[in-house]
Structure 1
Amino acid sequence: MSKLPTVHDVARVAGVSRQTVSNVLNSPDIVRPDTRDRVRRAIDSLGYRPHASARRLRTQKSSTIGIRLDPMLDGISGSILDRFLHALTEQADAIGLRILLFTATGPEDEIRQFGRLIDGSDVDAFVLTSTFHGDPRTEWLIEHEQTFVTFGRPWGIDDMNDPRHAWVDVDGRAGVRAATESLLYRGLSRIGFLGWPAGSGTGDERSGGWRDAMTAAGLGEGLEMLQETAVDTVSAAREASDRLIARIGDLDAVVAASDSLALGAVVQTGGALPVIGFDNTPVSAAMGFSSVDQRLDEVAAGVLALLTDAEGSADVARHRLITPELVVRSSHPPMVPDARM
């Protein structure tokens, strides 16, 4: 097994001293441009990466981002966070940052963990997931002047555009609207919606996308009859699908706020109706139903861009809304205009 390149190797290849290499890494402005370029070429050619512990001693920074590992409620919804964490870790590693995972029993416990990690200088910044109405974590981090980015908008508090609260989110309203429009394009009109109980910012946004599409198509009357809610489990979705089918005998299709709900609809209808989910989990691929992909690689890239621009450059937006993508599959594929062009 070949050994990793060292600062001695970089200095030898570049024809400079170890101190010059150190200056290029830590104080590049004091090094002549031609020498700096020569050292950087040597670093690239050797694949050298500064030792994280040594860098921490020099800079008093850990180059580490803390993020809570949420409990997996079920294998379907849990895969979303897994994919996000993988994308975040992979992209962070590429720019010399590390991810530290920690657990907490709830928001208040997570805040206590923030304090512990800050006191120990274990992390430089935080990424928050699973945002919700009145989330106290963001207020605490702002008050304690900590660098953070949330994956999710600040639902229910008055800092949607506060530059101190950087966030990246997926436009669920646009994603569900596109899913519903694809079914309307097929000539279907009795399109039901399976969503979460009211009060969830994310869930309400996704429900709004279905309403937008139906209303724009002149089908806005009586939408309450076409909508059912359930907690995010397959069994609850099956029961909600039963209620919807019993009420709407000639249902054409179903759009769901998640793949868990979509799977419940697919199972309950025996695959007789087109169903579109949200999250594009492995379950949607295995079962063959269409779903909205959150483009988590782009979410992770946005989170890291905001974290590494913690000072808030004037030309960098502090809030990013990612447009998701409809992934078409199944024996009842929704027709979309682009698919025929």
Structure 2
Amino acid sequence: MTEAVTIDDVARQAGVSRQTVSNVLNAPQVVRESTRQRVMQAVEQLGYSPNSSARRLRTRRSSTIGVRLDAYAGGISGVVLDRFVHALTERAGARRLRVLLYAARTPEDEISRWDELMRGGDVDAVVISGTFHGDPRTGWLLGRGLPFVSFGRPWGADDIDDPAHLWVDVDGAAGTRAATTHALETAGPRVAFLGWPTGSGTGDDRERGWRETIGPRAGSASAPRWAVQEGIAEARELVGRELARHEIDALVCASDSLAVGAHLAAADLGRPHLPIVGFDNTPVVEALGLSSVEQLPEQVAAAAIDLITGPGGEIEARAATPGAAHALIVPRLIVR
């Protein structure tokens, strides 16, 4: 049986001391860049894998990021978060970090889980999703000093010039702006918007892109704004009523679920080819041939890991410095 490669083997291969190898792996900031590169080259050539368990015992750090696993709710709304969690796990693993999944149905449940995980030393950081106005989770985390980054901006705060915490988000307004521009150029001037009731940070952001593109006509009879709770059946019912009263050229939606409901309503009224654009680019809209805005969750995951780790790949409590505390991912429009 082949013997495991040791830290002494790496030191000999790189021509440095055992302590230097340890510094490169655990505190790279104290080592010259040329030396670090030489050591890492030796690590790669020999296939050395540090003893993670021993390191965790020595440093009293778990090298683990906690991430909530959303409860299964059916439908198509969970596809983006599923892709995000998968990509986050892959990118964490590439930096020798682990991801711990936990379940929580409410913000209060999630805070309770964090309290347990912190007291047990099970996580060094968390990634949260689904931020909203007045979110109690971010204040709890900031008060306890647990490093975290959110998939979703700190709604209600100046998240660019005075960020409350580290965050990554998809530029929803850019996505609907591209969708609305495409609809105006290919279908006609009467482009409606179907979104959620006002007050949702994400929904309002996506509506903003449509409004900015339509201009003063937004909300008028020639460019109506319709609102409904998330759901295919709900969207189908509302759009069925509105299409019977309004003649529109195209419809931009805040989600794929709303787009599917709208498409079914249009088909019911004999307009199966009404141009409808969703948001999330799920397999369902692809199967129906509907255009949609792709969120690029893999890029979101990569940015989240970059924000929560230091130059050596270790979890690091980084300050929320203006200009360096966030990443805003520009989505892409998939036309079908």
Shorter-chain TM-score bucket reads: 0.7 to 0.9
Aligned to 2:273: 272
For the Cα contact (< 8 Å) 2:64–2:98, is it kept in 1? yes
Is 1:118 the equivalent of 2:118? yes
Mean alpha-carbon deviation: is it higher for 50-59 or for 96-105?
A: 50-59
Task: Find the aligned partners of 1:240 and 1:76 in 2 and give their Cα distance.
Answer: 19
- Closer, same or farther: CA 188–4 of 1 in aligned 2, 3 Å: farther
Aligned to 1:39: 39
- Indicate which of 250, 253, 258 corresponds to 1:256: 253
TM-score calculated relative to the size of structure 2: 0.87
Aligned to 1:297: 298
For the Cα contact (< 8 Å) 2:307–2:325, is it kept in 1? yes
Task: Find the aligned partners of 1:50 and 1:95 in 2 and give their Cα distance.
Answer: 12
DSSP 3-state at the match of 1:77: coil
For the Cα contact (< 8 Å) 1:11–1:18, is it kept in 2? yes
**Cα drift, residue 31 of structure 1:** 7.0
Q: Deviations over 1:13-63 (max 9, x none)?
A: 446675654344235577787765543222112332322211212222111
Aligned to 2:328: 321
Task: Find the aligned partners of 1:212 and 1:74 in 2 and give their Cα distance.
Answer: 33
**Cα drift, residue 182 of structure 1:** 0.6
- Closer, same or farther: CA 32–159 of 1 in aligned 2, 3 Å: closer
Task: Find the aligned partners of 1:4 and 1:311 in 2 and give their Cα distance.
Answer: 35
The amino acid of 1:213's aligned partner reads T
DSSP 3-state at the match of 1:326: strand
Q: Deviations over 1:207-253 (max 9, x none)?
A: 121111111xx6346159722222221111111210220220x2211
Task: Find the aligned partners of 2:100 and 2:75 in 1 and give their Cα distance.
Answer: 22
**Cα drift, residue 10 of structure 1:** 3.4
For the Cα contact (< 8 Å) 2:141–2:147, is it kept in 1? yes
The amino acid of 1:256's aligned partner reads C
Aligned to 1:232: 230
- Closer, same or farther: CA 36–162 of 1 in aligned 2, 3 Å: closer
DSSP 3-state at the match of 2:173: helix
Mean alpha-carbon deviation: is it higher for 308-317 or for 289-298?
A: 308-317
TM-score calculated relative to the size of structure 1: 0.86
- Indicate which of 319, 323, 327 corresponds to 1:312: 319
For the Cα contact (< 8 Å) 1:65–1:124, is it kept in 2? yes
**Cα drift, residue 320 of structure 1:** 2.0
**Cα drift, residue 294 of structure 1:** 1.0
* Aligned-pair identity (%): 54
Is 1:242 the equivalent of 2:254? no
For the Cα contact (< 8 Å) 1:126–1:148, is it kept in 2? yes
Task: Find the aligned partners of 1:326 and 1:32 in 2 and give their Cα distance.
Answer: 44
Mean alpha-carbon deviation: is it higher for 234-243 or for 20-29?
A: 20-29
For the Cα contact (< 8 Å) 2:164–2:320, is it kept in 1? no
For the Cα contact (< 8 Å) 1:153–1:160, is it kept in 2? no
- Closer, same or farther: CA 277–35 of 1 in aligned 2, 3 Å: closer
Aligned to 1:83: 83
Q: Deviations over 1:85-113 (max 9, x none)?
A: 01111111111111111111211111111
DSSP 3-state at the match of 1:192: strand
The amino acid of 1:135's aligned partner reads D
- Closer, same or farther: CA 185–101 of 1 in aligned 2, 3 Å: same
Task: Find the aligned partners of 1:49 and 1:58 in 2 and give their Cα distance.
Answer: 16
DSSP 3-state at the match of 2:76: helix
- Closer, same or farther: CA 103–272 of 1 in aligned 2, 3 Å: same
For the Cα contact (< 8 Å) 2:66–2:102, is it kept in 1? yes
The amino acid of 2:236's aligned partner reads R
Q: How is 1:51-70 mapped onto 2 (pairs within 5 angstroms)?
A: 51-70=51-70
- Closer, same or farther: CA 278–221 of 1 in aligned 2, 3 Å: closer
The amino acid of 2:107's aligned partner reads P
Q: Deviations over 1:237-270 (max 9, x none)?
A: 111210220220x221111100111111122222
Q: How is 1:144-159 mapped onto 2 (pairs within 5 angstroms)?
A: 144-157=144-157
Aligned to 1:71: 71
- Closer, same or farther: CA 223–7 of 1 in aligned 2, 3 Å: farther
- Closer, same or farther: CA 229–316 of 1 in aligned 2, 3 Å: closer
Is 1:286 the equivalent of 2:284? no
For the Cα contact (< 8 Å) 1:256–1:277, is it kept in 2? yes
Q: How many aligned residue pairs are there?
A: 326
DSSP 3-state at the match of 1:75: coil
